[in-house]
Structure 1
């Protein structure tokens, strides 16, 4: 087993793609790095997920300015994780939007998550000196909110717990396109360290019920066409279930975290080992699934110290 998290050694810059997935709807993707969505309305622009730093967010803005000069009014944050939110200041938006639950998670664990992720992802946090502090929303909602960018309607919704307890999606009805955040991934491992395994597949099915024409997932390529959309939904649900079942069997049988790790690898490596960030996610996924199987409903807060302790336990 490696002596550091896989992401700490991943220092190679990723190839950026900027793909139109519906009329004036764009997905900024980078080979398994966190994605950003762009919704261009009649009078303004909405961002879905901000990137980890202003440095990375400026790369998104550069691509936006190649297709529109409309002002960026909204930044919507699908959840609270540092790699998603800490670049928000770069967009100059007048409104930053989260779910009520996501904001509460910033209060409860935002600084700890920042410190933890900073240690895990040195490449993504290059230029971290420009981060002004924790990102706080100016607007929140409990279950749904509708916004209009001129005549273009965007529905923000909480469909259920998944990647975190506060994940939201952004749906654009006129194009039948959804920006899912990390509820859905495509050929990228799901990070489940703050997840809810029992709820996640049901939330995926709530997305499937929209019968979408395209999806911008949290990581991986943009998905256009019902075949790719459903493939990604199936794959995400399979990843979550395949991770949880062998770990739960070990945990509920009194086995150790290391035994749960071995059982998870046996089930998941043949199907998912080639996925982006798989090796990085695995220890966090095992630890969280082990806890959930033993009845711990609220994910324990990850800190840099807890990261190290968990990694040492898995290395025996």
Structure 2
């Protein structure tokens, strides 16, 4: 029997930080656990990312209430993953927003993703019994959408595929601050199991074009100041490329998934082994990189059963 996933043994409570990244803009972070964002408008509040359960979402709400009593009107999801969306009911928002593609992925693989992630990372589903079901958006869009919170303009944009096919970013022009979801991480491993390696760098370039003053990333500390922003973007790029290229070389010579795993470890361990959730992400990252290198453009659906089969194969 293969050993357990690294994340199954990660039961340590993480310290929550609530950082102002611009006037009326906050990043809720927790030492490499999924981040959320807060955008305070004239009359209401937009939340970016809903956490994995209503109980965890209430921790975000507590932080919101420490800075404003305005009602929460919008919850925006940057993509479909269970750890980002299943807490949405706690916010009781008028609008739940995703990209068209993210909603399509909930239809196609939302339940499988929930079952898979719950098995892999039980701590992130604290209070899972409070989840009423899959989270469905009330509003979707294709390429871009603008929401006005009173006079505050918030631009939602699909800039390209990266962490998933349906990723969006949220830009607040008056402060030049962006919420990127898992397209950008800071000292946390990128989860690439549903990713698009060939596109990720172009999407990072699109984010870089905005020359933002701060980013609330998907995981890790808030990025305040252009130096920190650009360093995180380039570090994310390095992580993605360092994962894909060794796996692609193995695939090109007809090698095995286990050989790809060894090659990626040789490249990534020296640079990234101390990053949050590195060991958790690595097997899924290698499997997806190997698939993409062999021509599978659409990521295969992860199921609880497939997770175990893949992990056992990598353990030899």
Give the TM interval when normalised to the shorter protein: over 0.9
Give the Cα–Cα distance (whole angstroms) in 1 for the partners of residues 17 and 276 of structure 2.
Answer: 16
Name the counterpart of 1:201. 201
How far apart in 1 are the matches of 2:197 and 2:66? 40
CA distance in 1, matches of 2:28, 2:255: 42
Aligned counterpart, 1:250: 250
In 1, the alpha carbon distance for the partners of 2:125 and 2:234 equals: 32
Q: Distance in 1 between matches of 2:209 and 2:124?
A: 34
Could you list the per-position Cα deviations for residues 204-238 of structure 1 after superposition, in whole angstroms to 9, with x for gaps in the alignment? 00000000000000000000000000000000001
Which SS does the other structure have where 2:124 is aligned?
coil
User: What residue in structure 1 maps to residue 261 of structure 2?
Assistant: 261
Deviation at 1:34, TM superposition (A): 0.1
Q: Matched residues in 1 for 2:196 and 2:265: separation?
A: 20
Question: Residue 192 of structure 2 corresponds to which residue in structure 1?
Answer: 192
Q: 1:287 to 1:237 in 2, by over 3 A?
A: same
Partners of 2:2 and 2:311 within 8 A in 1? no
Matched residue SS, 2:197: coil
For 2:49, the equivalent position in structure 1 comes to 49
Trace 1:216-231 onto structure 2 (pairs within 5 A). 216-231=216-231
Distance in 1 of aligned mates of 2:20 and 2:250: 44
Cα deviations by residue, 1:9-61 (Å, 9 ceiling, x for unpaired): 00000000000000000000000000000000000000000000001000000
Partner Cα distance (2:177, 2:2) in 1? 40
| 2:164 is aligned with 1:149 | no
Distance (whole Å) between structure 1 residues aligned to residue 39 and residue 211 of structure 2: 20
SS of match in other structure, 2:80: coil
> Residue deviations 1:154-181, cap 9 Å, x none?
0000000000000000000000000000
| Alignment of structure 1 residues 225-304 onto 2, 5 Å | 225-304=225-304
Tell me the residue number matched to 1:118: 118
The question of whether the paired residues in 1 share the 8 Å contact of 2:25 and 2:40 is answered with: yes
Structure 2, unaligned stretches of length 5 or more? none
Cα distance between partner residues in 2 of 1:48 and 1:268 = 30
Q: Give yes or no for the alignment of 1:106 onto 2:106.
A: yes
Once residues 126 and 137 of structure 1 are traced to their aligned partners in structure 2, the CA distance between those partners, rounded to angstroms, is 23
1:123 partner SS: helix
What are structure 1's unaligned runs of at least 5 residues? none
* Distance in 1 between residues matched to 2:293 and 2:268, nearest whole Å: 18
Distance 1:297 1:139, change over 3 A: same
| Distance (whole Å) between structure 2 residues aligned to residue 112 and residue 289 of structure 1 | 20
Does the CA-based 8 Å contact 2:2-2:312 persist in structure 1? no
Corresponding residue for 1:131? 131
